[in-house]
Amino acid sequence: MDASFILTQLISGMTMATLLFLVASGLTLIFGVGNVFNFAHGSFYMLGAYFGYQFVSVWSSNFWLGLLMTGLCVGIFGMLTEAVFLRRIYGRANEGGFQILLTYSFILIIDDLVKLTWGAEYKSLPRPAGFDQAVVIGDMFIPAYNLLIIGIGLVVVVLAWWVLARTRPGQVARAAAVDREIVAVLGVNVPMTMTLVFGIATALGGMAGALAAPLRTVTPGAGIEVIIDSLIVVVLGGMGNFWGAWFGAILIGEVNAFAVAFVPQWATLFSFLVMVVVLIFKPEGLFATRKVRKL
């Protein structure tokens, strides 16, 4: 095992981690701001992959324009989902149970809509021009597209931190997560804030699907696999913790990359093993804010 092998696996793990983070960040944003458990978030990822296929492969659009249009379309779809369906169950008794049942139903509905629209056969999406080659570093050949995805992930991390921590809309969203009633009394349109946050979160998931499409086949049911890994990431980082989702995605991505290299027959178990260990010793998540009990 030499340095080039380790670096190659690290980059492979970071690529997977970035895609997981883009999905998990939307999931944790929805939970952190709206306290909504969107079990169908993986289906928005799958929908983004199909929109990307439609824009780029079918309509021959520029990849980057197709990526932006994908985020816009999936974001609008997510906003309509929140405004028309989820908003009706806010504040009800056993709201969490209703959320799980309702969002799970969306998994079945979106899967069938995808099959009716695009068929059940596998689709593919080409890599963008200029990023379909490899970058040569010494005796290593690293796909340029993988490096691009990692760079996009870093930009999203910094931009999301700036929006949430340094801008008024971000501060309003964080305040709404703490106490919606007080924020509403101060004149903020809380329902619209929730809808916009849901739209941004689902747009991130959709764009992640489009970015992942050149690396993976586009197929119905892809959302189930990614939502499981994303939930592991969110649980590791702490529910609603944005930076925790980033660290959790890196941890799971690197664990999977090296597990596939060394013990491929057991690779799928390692993500769950990491989650189990974390839940045993820190069940609230690695970066969750410790709650102090007041007497």
Amino acid letter, residue 72: L
Q: Is residue 290 packed enough to be buried (19+ CB in 10 Å), middle (13-18) or exposed (0-12)?
A: exposed
Predicted local distance difference test score (pLDDT) of residue 159: 87
Averaged over successive runs of 10 residues, the pLDDT of the chain (295 residues) comes to 82 92 88 81 94 93 94 95 88 78 91 93 90 83 91 87 83 78 84 90 93 91 86 85 87 92 86 90 78 42
Contact, 73 vs 209, CB < 8 A? Answer: no
Global pTM reads 0.90
Q: In 119-241, where does DSSP find H-type helix?
A: 144-166, 168-178, 180-185, 190-212, 222-237
